[in-house]
Structure 1
């Protein structure tokens, strides 16, 4: 395609190449990140994922080595060949990633496919060429992680995917090539190296992870630029930090958004919403959020209320909020085409809607019937949409749930030639489709931030890379199947490995009818999922915690209360994630990549670095094998100590989810509460497991951006276990209120306890001791 290298020249951080048949450039973003670019459509990036590309001023050399050009930073070596083939090496000359030098050669597909298609089977083509293709050599030991919430196992090797945001309500299975999100980023782990690859192209793109031939993997696109970033590092944590340096990180959410959330299509009318709220309080189950699906609206018109179902929505939402319930309302992009409907009339007057190729506003059908679609690719439209969020905020709404924003439509998909202004670059649906939901979420985020002054809470179904800056995500319309519970774990883990920390699934499943056992096991996973929302479909059986029987109710109560107990630990993880890019839910391979046993573990995960969860994901199972990684781990329920590097068999009756705590961990706990903010937390509990370790605990006002100006308090705890256990308590920053006291739960034996020069009385429990001290700096000595 490119031909031979004719010449090259250096301008700042860029090395420009002129080939026989085109041009390209290599840009050194920093010593670890290299951009490979050719302006096949546009002369620059125009990225929707990377909004503030920071190029570091760093040294690099360029040498002509005969058959290739060598570009060397302090950490990486890049070799550029004819045909714009690009290889990557570490600073010591070890090959990390090579372009495949041969032609694509898919395995043979035998037989007459049309016969199988006649019976309804999907038949894949032998070979599909794409305008842009980057083909990389397989060395043999590659494992691939990331690519968003694609179906299948954690390791994506052997799978093929498409990036084309798709509303597909059929049961999601491993053969699904595309779902609601397009996250064209993956991490390659080899036995002695790791790197990331981000293909920043919003057109329909393709990722074949050695599916069509075990000698190579490739990514490509139908249009756009050749534009990808190679990200080097020493471990997966490095790769995630640098990828999120590029695309952004999940900002610290409001604390209440980490509480339990209840949803259904639909809680309407108002009396039903109040009934749900009443049941939570009467059944002693904590809950912070109730979601309203499309039936709260007037004839499905966005930014309206049905005044028959909700006679006074402001009064209702105010009273619900007084009882601790925040209301999140769904908002779809489809605007009803209706005369005198102000949202439609304003958008039409100002040219805010997408058009056909003749400039006529494009119309398709969604819930309201004939609908038009805001052109979120244009800044003026985004500002207008953001201003409309005030309508919902003024009604008392606390968050916005963006759905149907692939965009979904009922009279077939939007045609490729639907026109968008694209911030002055004029484009069509083929380029905007994958970023439509992303830009809708951005507009919503900026509007809520402007009109509330609080950290916006947005949930989106459709997304593109970088969405983590603006919205939490969920995996879309799953089913109340055991297979979907099983598959949700690697889906969420790969979302985390794609920069998206604040994510979740519909607990219990959306479609089909849930069972008592399935909900009991799913809520155990949901307890450790950043977005913890039970959601179900119209005409399915009730799925609330009390909807089955007393046993199911008790299990839901037990685990939802455990979630609230662990809230300070989860909030700490979100705070750390804003600074590091690390997710809340983590595959074991993230921290134990030198252990070959963890590469393919799909059914257990880390909650931060200190807690490991091994849920039951199969019907009727009351035991399971659990892999214990290196180190000492403590069974959360029994306090049994287990040495790592082995597999154990764990009994797990229906009310038990196997949970393990890493030795040397300090886990902060909150007291029981019905909702966030019900009571002022004056005492923090420290759940301590003997060993060596450090922990930082963070507190702020839980809702504003003042923490970015230093209005927070940060505690630093350390534990050292020798003949006696030494626990140090320090305040690294004191810009917000502090606790009055600390309750220490020490999960081991003790004879004496001292804090400073004072001997502290303690009480024994079944597994250790408990005592209280002032929340002051000092040293605890446990003998």
Structure 2
């Protein structure tokens, strides 16, 4: 169906196993087509804890569908395909029980791309080949991160950092929210409360702690004293009502604000200059957190901004009545909220007017090329791209951008956190769905605010969320100024010890994570994936989301219910071992009950894997100097394989210049040998590091000794486990090695 400002397409689905579309809140990974709901896609400053069935910060009109064997009751064929509608206008989608899919959009064209897989991983690899591969994050950003909106001053921030350090909490990154600014204005520092922050950041650097600071896109309406605005007006960087350059004025943290138009070259130059100068002169940050970039404007179309009593500012942006701000079809992103307001909801609520103009001047019309109506969902995308280019000039190393609003392709420049959640078990569960979806969307470096941004978590909830968050790709504890502090060391010592235990596992596994991110960056693979990516013909896996895989080999089954001390999890085919005890899970293609005392998060290892590890330390500056190890998990045939990617963790051109290390590992019980084959050896520091230990699961025929480099080493069974441990190998990492053994003793006898 095609009309002016309305395009609709209806398609019959090959099966009901459909996933994806975002960013909106839903409570299962697989969409329930039989509910016949409609969902909006439109970037808006709306928390994940809003009413059900609401749209959020980004726009990702991409879905994947697991195909079924014809004439069966939904039995999956193992083949998956994906579909992208490349369209930046507001849209919604709905399902029918046929099953069918209806997509409606209010502009642009129906520009579809289809990805035929046929495996789930191949679908995502093909999708990211088109939209851009995800970032290779700096190694330090894989460490745990601390944040809070509500540090009252630098001493407060310093106290939090020191108490976590003293408690032995490992972490790599400290954030500065808008507290550090002078009156919440970008490119400023509070001259009283954060006067010496740059000096303190330098001290943190010496100890391996990085700093990321927040920047919002909007600039205060101060044409007399605030240089970014003064220069921005002179250089024509702000979004205007019309070609006469009357500026759109909204409301955000500092008060009345203007909005940069990142589609124009002059804005990108202005933004880059201010970022570079701010870092050189004021604050030597390591990355940027770009927030409020939907863009957010407080209470547009309402009489007063929500914080008017705090700011003594009663102005709000009022959008005129026209076909852009009030289109014939408003989409679910607007009409979903009619029953919550004393007026009809509008697309421009909480953001800027759709009728605004953006982009370079079209020489034919002498007007900007775009309406905000058409490019609204690209605002965060355009700011992210400009910020990426600015940081490369300012730092000349890999940095980290954390963006709230995202669009198709944002992952090639940024990471993403899921926004303002609440400290509830429900929100913890939702984070698992979003984590998988953003791996599909090509932004694998993502995660939720651990322990919740809003409201107060119980001690047990924060323990369980820290256990889960220790395995988010992006692992950050963050909350707001209205809540009590919830950083790990703010809890009793018993809770801190449990949180540290989970983080300790994460830090040990960072080489495995980093290798997965290398594959995501170069091949488009997922880092976090649902079970059906690895077991696509197992129908049961299609509905599972409360357990997930890190790569193909580690299964995490977090506790997401209050008071629970067990989890019910599904064991797909193949060998799976308990991470802590080494015992083989005696089940295949069935649900089992796993004990989950408060002190542990259930972790299973898949047979056939070799996982690289590295020694634990309080941050990656020190862990990167520790010896490596291998976790070897044997399959039913006594075989295993794996690999390791490693580099300096921060250079921009690691891949292009091939200045990295890459090795493969192969264990063969039949041949009684472990082979270590160095394939790329262009990271010189590897000559100073050693492989010192092996941890082996599923080894039932254990030799009395092993041979390597004319030396002998001796396997030891860990006490009260079925895990074999071999230490003191001292094998230099930049050489090939073969470990052999003989004199087998059958452990089953």
TM-score, normalised relative to structure 1: 0.81
> Could you tell me how far 1:759 is from its partner in structure 2?
3.1
The yes-or-no answer on 1:498 pairing with 2:445 is no
Correspondent of 1:227 among 111, 125, 132: 111
Is 1:377–1:423's contact at 8 Å kept on the other side of the alignment?
no
Residues 725, 626 of structure 1: alpha-carbon distance in 2 compared, 3 angstrom cutoff: farther
> Aligned equivalents of 1:757 and 1:146: distance in 2?
57
Deviation by residue 1:137-167 (Cα, 9 ceiling, x = unmatched): 1344443335456432111243432211121
- 1:138 and 2:23 matched: no
Matches within 5 A, 1:188-199: 188-191=65-68, 192=77, 193-199=79-85
| Superposed displacement of residue 761, structure 1 | 3.4
For residues 348-384 of structure 1, the C-alpha deviation after alignment (integer angstroms, 9 at most, x for no partner) is 1111000113530111111100100001122321232
SS in 1 for 2:116: strand
2:692 is aligned with 1:742: yes
- Alignment of 1:586 with 2:525, yes or no, is no
CA contact (8 A) 1:568 1:668 kept: yes
Aligned residue in 2 for 1:370: 256
Match of 2:181 among 268, 283, 297: 297
Does 2:229 correspond to 1:344? yes
Query: How far off its partner does 1:581 sit?
Result: 1.3
CA contact (8 A) 2:241 2:355 kept: yes
User: Helix, strand or coil: the match of 1:302?
Assistant: coil
Residues 422/467 of structure 1: CA separation in 2 closer, same or farther (3 Å cut): farther
CA contact (8 A) 2:25 2:53 kept: no
Aligned residue number for residue 100 of structure 2: 216
1:118-517 matches, within 5 Å, as 131-148=6-23, 150-158=25-33, 159-169=37-47, 171-172=49-50, 174-176=52-54, 178-191=55-68, 192=77, 193-210=79-96, 214-338=98-222, 339-357=224-242, 358-394=244-280, 395-412=283-300, 413-421=351-359, 424=362, 426-517=369-460
Residue 67 of structure 1 aligns with which residue? none
Deviation at 1:758, TM superposition (A): 4.2
| Aligned-residue offset at 1:171 | 2.1
Are the equivalent residues in 2 in contact too, given 1:274–1:320 (CA < 8 A)?
A: no
Contact 1:727-1:779 within 8 A present in 2 as well = yes
Mark the CA change 1:141 to 1:454 in structure 2 (over 3 Å): closer, same or farther: same
Residue 726 of structure 1 is aligned with which of 657, 673, 677? 673
Cα contact 1:268–1:292 (8 A) shared by 2: no
1:19-56, CA deviations, whole angstroms, 9 ceiling, x for partnerless residues? Answer: xxxxxxxxxxxxxxxxxxxxx99xxxxxxxxxxxxxxx
What secondary structure is seen at the aligned counterpart in 1 of 2:739?
A: strand
- SS in structure 2 at match of 1:444: helix
Q: CA offset at residue 173 of structure 1?
A: 5.2
**Counterpart-to-counterpart distance in 2, 1:385 and 1:689:** 50
Distance 1:457 1:540 in 2: 27
Question: Residues 293-319 of structure 1, C-alpha deviation per residue, up to 9 Å, x if partnerless?
Answer: 111101111011111112233212111
Distance 1:180 1:650, change over 3 A: same
Deviation at 1:208, TM superposition (A): 1.6
Match of 1:539 among 482, 505, 519: 482
Change (3 A) 1:170 1:484: closer
- The offset of 1:422, in angstroms, is 5.2
Aligned to 1:770: 726
Alpha-carbon shift at residue 423 of structure 1 (Å): 7.0
Task: Report the TM-score, using the length of structure 2 for normalisation.
Answer: 0.84
SS at match of 1:687: strand
Aligned to 1:559: 502
What pairs up with 1:48-63 in 2 under 5 angstroms?
none
Identify the residue that residue 649 of structure 2 maps to in structure 1. Answer: 702
Map of 2:465 onto structure 1 = 522
Compute the displacement of 1:131 (Å).
1.4
Query: 1:65 matched to which residue of 2?
Result: none
CA distance in 2, matches of 1:547, 1:280: 8
The alignment partner of 1:220 has SS state of: strand
Q: Report the alpha carbon displacement of residue 267 of structure 1 after superposing the two structures with TM.
A: 2.3
Unpaired runs of 5+ residues, structure 1, are 3-39, 42-129
Spell out, residue by residue over 1:572-597, the C-alpha distance to the aligned partner (whole angstroms, 9 max, x if none): 11111112212211111111111101
Residues 1:588 and 1:381: Cα distance change in structure 2 (over 3 Å): same
- Rounded to whole Å, the distance in 2 between the matches of 1:201 and 1:352 is 25
Aligned to 1:126: none
State how far apart, in whole Å, the 1-side matches of 2:624 and 2:473 are: 23
C-alpha change, 1:504 and 1:415, in structure 2 (3 Å) is: same
Higher relative contact order (CA 8 A, sep 6+): 2
Structure 1 residues 232-279: Cα deviation after superposition (integer angstroms, max 9, x where no partner): 121111111111011011121110101000111122411112111211
> Following superposition, which runs of at least 4 residues in structure 1 exceed 4 angstroms of deviation?
422-425
Out of 408-417 and 255-264, give the one that drifted further: 408-417
- CA distance in 2 between counterparts of 1:239 and 1:761 reads 45
Asked whether the equivalents of residues 459 and 474 of structure 1 are also in contact (C-alpha less than 8 Å), the reply is: yes
| Whole-angstrom CA distance in 2 between matches of 1:585 and 1:651 | 23
Shift of 1:778: 2.3
Q: Do 2:693 and 2:725's aligned partners in 1 also have CA atoms closer than 8 Å? A: no
